Amino acid sequence: MMTGLEVGRVRGRVLVGPEEERDDLRVIGGRIAFDAGPGPPADAPTIDGWVLPGLVDAHCHVGLGPGGAVDRDTAEQQILGDRAAGALLLRDAGSPADTRWVDDREDLPRLIRAGRHLARTRRYIRNFAHEIEPADLPAYAAAQARAGDGWVKFVGDWIDRSVGDLAPCWPREALVVAIAAAHAEGARVTAHCFAENSLVDLVEAGIDCVEHACGLTDDTIARFAARGVAIVPTLVNIGTFPRIAAEAEGKFPDYARHLRDLHARRYDTTRSAYDAGIPIFAGTDAGGSLPHGLVAQEVAQLVTAGLPPLAALSAATWAAREWLGHPGLAEGAPADFVVFPVDPRVELDVLAAPSLVVRGGRAVAGSALAG
């Protein structure tokens, strides 16, 4: 099968939802068709297998490298890595790069942008964010809401070198006004947070989501659950904390100890959040220092943390698409789906090796293309 060839039909099991299956999926004009009507073109091939909606990476960074924005060719390689992994819907959780060119490419994953990070002056990674002071946060939040695709991203905490440990970046009163400003523009707000002591102010200020959230405690878990605040744990990223701690040990020993503690309880924290009913979605934090294409690893990490396999799978498929407002395997929806040789609900490891990745009804990646 040639890359870009239009797929006509998939026979097997079409996993419309966690417990809902169909026997047959047709592709007509780049869209999914289940109901009676004209068939696909006669020369469009039929594929056999198990079908999931295109996977979701709910936290990645297209166009971002360790030193800030990367060139277009590098950004293209990043998003192609996501596509090869079957991730066809990406929430870009902050990037200084202009990636609007992705929208013109029908072969690339769909990208939902949060604009550029909003960070406190000299309290984040250089060249990543707009670095501002609290008085400026509401105006910048409104501007990034208009620049993005329905999301705004704050840096809620980061190391404060004056105290030698993670510390909140914003006073609650600034967060309240800034989140309201973003909401007035129709955007949701999320925040990068590693530690414990920034979370109460964020949830009480009306935050919609928190990234990483490894500092959740019994108190903040209850607050998040009561208000429906989602988390994206990015466990593949939290797995790098021991290395970061080792590098920081000599200069910032309290920070290093804190990171090791957050890392040691990362699975318990995630499972406690799940048990409390907090919505959890799969995100890798790809970009910056991590490669793209890690969504299967993140789903596996959610299972290791104690989520039931079906819940972990839903965090990267059905539930994630609903949360982001994009359809899955529905009549008339864009034909963005992934085909596997066996049931991924039963053999979750197969998520890392899709047979076919279909974007807009055309085969764009997968092991079946190698033949």
The answer on pLDDT for 354 being more than 80 is: yes
Q: What is the 3-state secondary structure (H, E, C) of 120-180?
A: ECCCCCCCCCEEECHHHHHHHHHHHHHHCCCEEEEECEEEECCCCEEEECCCHHHHHHHHH
- How is domain 55-324 classified at the CATH fold level? TIM Barrel (3.20.20)
Q: What's the confidence (pLDDT) of residue 1?
A: 44
Q: How many CA within 13 A on the CB side of residue 167? A: 11
CATH pick for 9-53+328-370 out of 3.20.20.450, 2.30.40.10, 3.90.1150.10, 3.40.50.10860:
2.30.40.10
* Residues 48, 12 contacting (CB under 8 angstroms): yes
d(CA 295, CA 31): 24
Each residue's pLDDT tens digit, 237-274: 999 999 999 999 999 999 999 999 999 999 999 999 99
The predicted pLDDT at position 23 comes to: 85
pLDDT tens, position by position, 106-127: 999 999 999 999 999 999 999 9
With cut-offs at 50, 70 and 90, classify the pLDDT of residue 371: low
Under the banding of pLDDT at 50, 70 and 90, the label for residue 82 is: very high
The SS3 of residue 341 is coil
The alpha carbon dihedral of 268, 270, 274, 278 has a sign of positive
Q: What angle do CA 333, 371, 31 make, to 5 degrees?
A: 10
Cβ(266)–Cβ(302) under 8 Å? no
Q: How many residues does the chain have?
A: 371
Question: For residues 25 and 15, is the Cβ–Cβ distance under 8 A?
Answer: no
Looking at residue 2, its pLDDT comes to: 45
Residues of the chain with CATH 2.30.40.10: 9-53+328-370
According to the model, what pLDDT value does residue 243 have?
97
Q: How large is the average pLDDT for residues 160-166?
A: 97
Query: Which pLDDT value is given to residue 116?
Result: 97
C-alpha span between 281 and 249 (Å, rounded): 32
10 Å Cβ neighbour count for 155? 24
165 phi and psi, to 5 degrees? Answer: -155, 175
pLDDT digits (tens, 9 = 90+) for 15-31: 999 989 998 888 988 99
In DSSP terms, 113 is beta-bridged to: 92
Residue 312 makes CB contacts below 8 A (sequence gap 6+) with 282, 299, 300, 302, 303, 348
Q: Which residues contact 215 (CB under 8 A, 6 or more apart)?
A: 193, 194, 195, 196, 197, 198, 199, 262, 269
Is residue 60 helix, strand or coil? strand
Residue ranges of the chain assigned to CATH 3.20.20.140: 55-324
User: In sequence order, which residues have a C-beta less than 8 Å from that of residue 156 and are 6 or more positions away?
Assistant: 168, 169, 170, 191, 192, 193, 198, 199, 202, 210
